[in-house]
A and B are shown apart, each in its own frame.
Chain A
Amino acid sequence: MILEVKNVTMKFGGVTAIDNLSFGVKSGEIFGLIGPNGAGKTTIFNIITGNYKQTAGEVFFMHELISGIKPNIIVQKGIARTFQNIRLFKSMTVLDNVLIGFHNDANYTFFESILRLPRYFSTEKRIKEAAMQILERFGIARFADYPATALSYGNQRKVEIARALATEPKLLLLDEPAAGMNPIETEDLSNIIKNIKEEYGLSILLIEHDMKFVNNMCDRVLVLDYGEEIFKGKPSDAIVDKRVIAAYLGDFTHA
């Protein structure tokens, strides 16, 4: 298990967003988190990445307790994420966006950058090459000098994932990576994600509504409804599960 969520409960005032939830992501696995809107999927992400402090429970990453650690430290430990609504750095170029991911990898100091000492040049050269390599992997290297906002929606998604990859994660959290994409773009993206997973030896936890995408990608899924687990297992079993169907479409037995 690379990631273990143990008995996590999250309350916002009187609302229980996550209720005593436990699951684990195996090393090298693509794990899907699905459920209707407001089920608490993104809340889980925010708890894992340290943006929220859970009311109760613990999160372990590679057998280490990461609850209560600052988000930027958790990134350094090897968990990177993307956002549901794309959050690129709007004033910066595509390349600079990816270079931000190398922030902690670049090890020159503030004074070395002011005085332009040799380490500045060698480090900048190294991380620029690494960033271009990632962009090439996503087929968007030719856009490197474009403003990030000038790209199409699909390509902006790719930049966001590329940026997350630049932090050299072991676990990648993708929040609705295929949202707003057409079927061809989705197909393209799922191939890329599978490839980078193999290439970088990643484990992936993803949130998605596109069931075809989930079926195609995920080894296991967890279905959430109102913060509670209603199904855990193979994606092909999830779509025929009675409780899952009831959560999405409503329960017709009492109607």
Chain B
Amino acid sequence: MLIEKRHFLQLFFLLVTIWFIWYAQNHLDPYTVSILNNIAIFAILALSYNLINGIAGQFSLEPNGFVAIGAYVTALFLIPGSTKLDMFALEDPAPVIMAMHSTFLPALIMSGVVAAIIAFILSVPVFRVRGDYLAIVTLGFGFIIRIFAMNNPKYTNGAMGLNDIPSVANLYWCGFIAVITFIVMINIIYSKFGRAMKAVRDDEDAATAMGVNTFWMKTYAFMTSAFFEGIGGGLMASLLTTISPDQFTFLLTFQLLIIIVLGGLGSMSGAILGTILVMGGSEWLRFLDQDMDIFGYHTGAHPGLRMVVFSILLIILMLFARKGLFGNKELTEIFKRVKK
């Protein structure tokens, strides 16, 4: 293994990111940090969603389900037993719920593992269908998880949700896990598994004719994506300190879909840029909701104007970059092309 220029570049970017995370957590105001937290969590979700949707090309609409699973698992692991007894008002918590207790990191890993196991079980029936049908089936999964959470107060406290989740997550947790997610995704893409996933996306029959077991490639992508979506959900739960089934509707999925389509389906660096633009952009446009003076003319407040402008900007962006900002290329690949 030779040490090349790109290794220094990678190290440089990594160090800059780590420095930025440290700087932001210690020096920036809480509002900015909360936005950065949000960006980091959505980056984790977008990266993992991009693996199944963009790289493996399986158009699925399930991340809200896995995020919900992750959020509930982490929350139930973090909340102390006595608090649980007080909180579960509709029904007493099941013994297994009472037994769950751990610190943050094991809780997050458990979130990921549970989501990945459910993804594995799900992949058997789900990958019997392709294309639009897959989207419908996976969309259904998101609904099932929500309805399960609503109707099983023994495990989830029903529609009341879970409160008083210990607030452990901060920008260190969210930021570093986002960095790890990015590295894992890049390592998958530039391996035989990433190549095979792309082959499945481009032409499934041809991939089979090359000896690729397409079912396993899809399942690997699905499980990895579920694992990190679960962890992202766990971070979200600890950051918000309160969760309820209504938080995890398909609107969450669509938000992620907007991010990865904007960044470019199949581009991990695109997913990061998309997250920053969508999450950061909608915060930055907040001034539109407030009173404004344009050339001395007082417009008054128009709540909701922000989302109108935001949508128009998205449409314009998509008109000029049909395949998203980065297409299906990584940032480094785009530079390589320009050099030639």
Spell out A's residues near B (CB within 8 Å): 49, 51, 70-72, 75-76, 80-81, 83, 87-92, 96, 99-104, 106, 108, 110, 113-116, 120-121, 124, 127, 163-164, 166-167
Contacts and interface: CB of A to CB of B under 8 A. Distances in A.
Contact of A120 (B191, B198, B214): B191
B219 to A, nearest CB: 11
Contacts of B266: 91
Nearest to A98: B210
Question: What range describes how many residues of B lie at the interface?
Answer: 20 to 34
Nearest to A167: B211
B197 to A, nearest CB: 11
A239 B202 CA distance: 40
B90 to A, nearest CB: 41
A92 B212 contact: no
27 contacts: A51-B205, A72-B214, A75-B209, A88-B202, A88-B206, A89-B199, A92-B195, A92-B198, A92-B199, A100-B195, A100-B199, A100-B207, A100-B210, A100-B212, A101-B210, A101-B211, A103-B195, A103-B196, A103-B212, A113-B192, A114-B188, A115-B187, A121-B1, A124-B192, A127-B192, A163-B210, A164-B209
B152 interface: no
B218 interface: no
A183 B213 CA distance: 38
Contact of B202 (A91, A106, A124): A91
Given A72-B211, A100-B207, 19 more contacts: A51-B208, A72-B208, A75-B208, A75-B209, A80-B209, A81-B209, A87-B203, A87-B206, A89-B207, A92-B202, A99-B192, A99-B195, A100-B210, A110-B220, A113-B187, A113-B193, A116-B187, A120-B191, A167-B210
Contacts of A75: 208-211
Contacts of A89: 198-199, 202-203, 206-207
Nearest to A125: B1
Contacts of A87: 203, 205-206
Interface string B297-318: 0000000000000000000000
Contacts, number: 91
Interface of B: 1, 184, 187-188, 191-193, 195-196, 198-199, 201-203, 205-214, 220, 266, 328
A103 B191 contact: no
A166 B211 CA distance: 10
A88 B266 CA distance: 18
B202 A108 contact: no
A70 B212 CA distance: 11
The main secondary structure of chain B at its interface with chain A is helix
Nearest to A86: B206
Contacts of B191: 108, 113, 120, 124
Contacts of B192: 99, 102-103, 106, 108, 113, 124, 127
Nearest to B329: A91
Given A83-B206, A113-B187, A120-B191, A91 B198 contact: yes
Contacts of A124: 191-192
B210 A96 contact: no
Contacts of B214: 72
Contacts of B199: 89, 92, 100
Contacts of B212: 72, 100, 103
Given A89-B198, A103-B195, A71 B208 contact: yes
Contacts of A51: 205, 208
Contact of B201 (A71, A83, A91, A115): A91
Contacts of B220: 110
